[in-house]
Chain A
Amino acid sequence: MSDASAAADGDAPDADESDNGSFTLWDQDAVKLTTLVIGLFALYLLGGYLLGYGTRQQLASIGQLSVLIGVFAMLALALNLHWGYTGLFNIGIIGFMAIGIYATAVLSKGAATAEPAAGSTGGFGLPLWMGIIGGVIAAAIFGGLVALPALRLRADYFAIVTVGISEIVRFTLLETEIQKVQIAGYWTGLGGGSGLILDFDPTDRFLEAFGLMDAYIGFSDTLGEQLGVGSNPKPIFDTLLYGLILFVFLIGFYMLLQRTGNSPYGRVLKAIREDEEATKSLGKDTNRFKIKGFMLGCALMGLAGILFYAEQGAITPDAFRPRLTFYVWIALIIGGAGSNTGSVAGGAVFAAFLFRGPIFFKNIVQNTFDSLDAPSTFGQAVSPITGADPIPLVAYTIDNMGQLQLVLMGIVLIYLMHNRPEGMFGHRKEPASPIRLQDRTQPKPAASAAATDGGRDQGGTDDE
């Protein structure tokens, strides 16, 4: 992991930075992504306007949407490192997220030295930032433990092993024997089936860490009054601020992975994806590269998991079913595996249209037709069809949008695999070299190639 980030910080110049002049503004990936996200926000504001939302609801809706976009885009980016770059078919994402947030919870929950009441546990009382670092490290180490043996396997076996491991993680979290244990005088544990209460609010901790709490409360009060948000504006602004924090993390993820992808290290990963045997024959220790790549991706999944669940106030093992893993896969496939820009776009589109969209649509329809009484079972909904009365079935459909949403996701996945397996941004031509080959006039390439791996111990990594 450290090697990987070292390589990421290396001298490989960013393809986009090298020559801005010969590109129009639209060719910049950042511009595309910003436009996409702003467009999605606008769409939701329009939907809210149709629903007759007040300012408060509009802000809340935008806040929730940005949190979801941030989380899914981050997860898709991390998965892209596994699947898009290295060709590792990981369908155990949720397991690594669970490890991350549970480690954070155990480390950062308030310390309990006396035995807590039934159904609750304490933690080690460390500051949240230490808990987060601990969670990320735990996810990375767990990823390494999984990868060490599993990387020898074929892609489809690897898939089955990873989903099996994510289920083993969930069963372990459910286990009552480690629900509450005493370690070094502290009462802690994983909470079993009832889960853990997270007694830290990441937004508050963030503000407190920078000493901005008072200023923030004053600010949100005045701004809330001006916008007419109503009483107690803090939760609304909290969500917005948290969305903003997630976007900052997302930019960090993107830059890290973009750098990693363009680094000599990332090129070896891509080579492994294309043909592992050939890469081996060039003298690369492909297993070491794969393990490092896998661990880095797992660490990022752990971090995304921490950021996703920390804000929710409580976690239960039930939240860590394999379903979420497949959400991330759908996001990545929409965006296009192999492209970081595509991963972010896919995460945003997934969050806006497939994850939140159907529920939003349901709200709009139910708001518009107040009198829509949905029958409670499918049978009652279908039987009037014989009398040419489709309304009950439509009402039932709208009412059960949460289930149909997943049917829709499945169909989208099938459609994409049939018609556009490369997604929105996949299989774009990537220059094999980190510098633009058209710029032959500059006397740089040789020097740059030498500098790229000069002084860095990358296990024999070098340029083409």
Chain B
Amino acid sequence: MGVSGTYDRGRELFVEDPIRAVIIVVAVVLVLDGVRQLAVGATQFSELGVMLKDGLMRGLFFGLAGIGLSMTYSILNFANFSHGDLITGGAFGGMIATYVIAGGFGSEGDIGSLMLLGSGATAIALALVIDRLVYKPIRDRSGITLLITSIGVAFTLRYLILFVFDGSRRGVTQSGAIPTVDIPAIDGTVSLNLHELSLVVVAVGLMAGLHFLLQRTKLGKAMRAMSDNEDLARITGIPTERIVTYTWIIGAGLAGVAGYMFVIWNGTLHWFQGWILLLPIFAAVILGGIGSIYGAILGGLVIGLTMSISIMWLPSGLTRAAAFFIMIVVLLVRPQGIFAGRATA
């Protein structure tokens, strides 16, 4: 090995894969510049800490919401453009549940967990009804047909939500009254509030539960088999339609809960929230590798962190553009994603 070996490998990379080489160079430059900004004091450590925390929150949300998208993508073989509106639907369902429960039992009751159930249940119910009416009759068509159909579903759902709940952006949390702890950073503090903490707990808990489900249960095995090869799965006696139903239940449930946690974290709720979040979620799923749950989680974290950290170099209006840009670059360099070839594992 030694220097010459490293040099040779470096030269090979540049000659054989110039795009990847350029990306590596850009990444190294950005990291060095980040270190410089910290050293000079252009960015404070506490600011970086806040960015990292925000990125983590966003990333966990993208990961949680992305799992469902990834599952439908690999098991039903289409990019579901109505996934974002399932998220919005779940969030509104959670809001209604809160409203009803707080009205019925007083706001002191332990309504948080019930609201979570409400949002998940709403999204699941929506997804199952839509699957029954829309996707089931055309299950055997091509992925593109299903994709276009899902755009129609997205339109219908989004504007029905607008029709029923009007276009206002409503604040749903009581700001200021949330318990908060300050975590000391080198030159300041990073505050963490209860909503953020609950987002972390819920997301990590659900992800761990899903891991257990997929790896240890018969249902999980059947799901993995189906995403690998549907015909083969059917031949071995796996009830594919029932697995599809479970896929929707799990995917939509996670989407609804994710939507609800996002609203809690973000504090506002409006009718096209899910649509705006859909593209970064797609980015996360593609980045991780379609069909891979861990890929979706990891991709979500990368996209989330990119969106919040890119503000060190980019004007704030372009952070979302940066996330899409990362997605495009990944598609070009590694279209199979980071966790390629491990379907739903």
Chain A interface (Cβ < 8 Å from any Cβ of B): 89, 149-150, 152-157, 159-161, 163-165, 167-168, 171-172, 174-177, 326, 329, 333, 377-378, 400, 403-404, 406-407, 409-414, 417-418, 421
Contact = CB atoms under 8 A, between A and B. Distances in A.
B283 A409 contact: no
A417 B145 contact: yes
Nearest to B154: A410
Interface of B: 78-79, 134, 137-138, 141, 143-145, 147-149, 151-160, 162-166, 279, 282-283, 286, 315, 317-318, 320-321, 324-325, 327-328, 331-332, 335
B166 A407 contact: no
Contacts of B279: 160, 163-164, 167
A154 B73 CA distance: 14
Contacts of A159: 79, 147
Nearest to A401: B163
Contacts of B321: 167-168, 171-172
A153 B79 contact: no
For the complex of A and B, the 5 pairs showing the least CB-CB separation, nearest first, are A410-B155, A413-B152, A410-B156, A164-B324, A406-B159
A417 B155 CA distance: 14
Contacts of A161: 327-328, 331
In this complex, which of B78, B145, B279, B317 has the most chain A Cβ atoms within 10 angstroms of its Cβ? B317
A403 B159 contact: yes
16 contacts: A150-B331, A150-B332, A161-B328, A164-B283, A168-B324, A171-B320, A404-B163, A406-B159, A407-B155, A409-B152, A409-B155, A410-B153, A410-B155, A418-B134, A421-B141, A421-B145
A418 B138 CA distance: 7
A367 B164 CA distance: 24
B315 A175 contact: yes
B107 to A, nearest CB: 20
Contacts of A157: 286, 331, 335
B325 A168 contact: yes
Contacts of B335: 152-154, 157
Given A165-B324, A378-B165, A400-B163, A407 B148 contact: no
Given A89-B147, A326-B155, 20 more contacts: A149-B328, A155-B143, A157-B286, A157-B335, A163-B279, A165-B324, A168-B321, A177-B315, A378-B165, A403-B159, A403-B163, A406-B158, A407-B155, A409-B155, A410-B152, A410-B156, A411-B156, A412-B152, A417-B152, A421-B141
A177 B141 CA distance: 47
A274 to B, nearest CB: 14
A398 to B, nearest CB: 12
Contacts of A403: 159, 162-163
A325 B129 CA distance: 27
A89 B142 CA distance: 14
B160 A407 contact: yes
Contact of A175 (B149, B155, B166, B317): B317
A156 B155 contact: no
A176 B315 CA distance: 9
Given A160-B286, A377-B166, A378-B164, A153 B151 contact: no
A154 B142 CA distance: 13
Given A378-B166, A400-B163, A156 B79 contact: yes
In this complex, which of B138, B163, B282, B335 has the most chain A Cβ atoms within 10 angstroms of its Cβ? B163
A326 B318 contact: no
In this complex, which of B138, B144, B279 has the most chain A Cβ atoms within 10 angstroms of its Cβ? B144
A89 B144 contact: yes
B136 to A, nearest CB: 11
Contacts of B147: 89, 156, 159
Contacts of B156: 407, 410-411, 414
A413 B159 contact: no
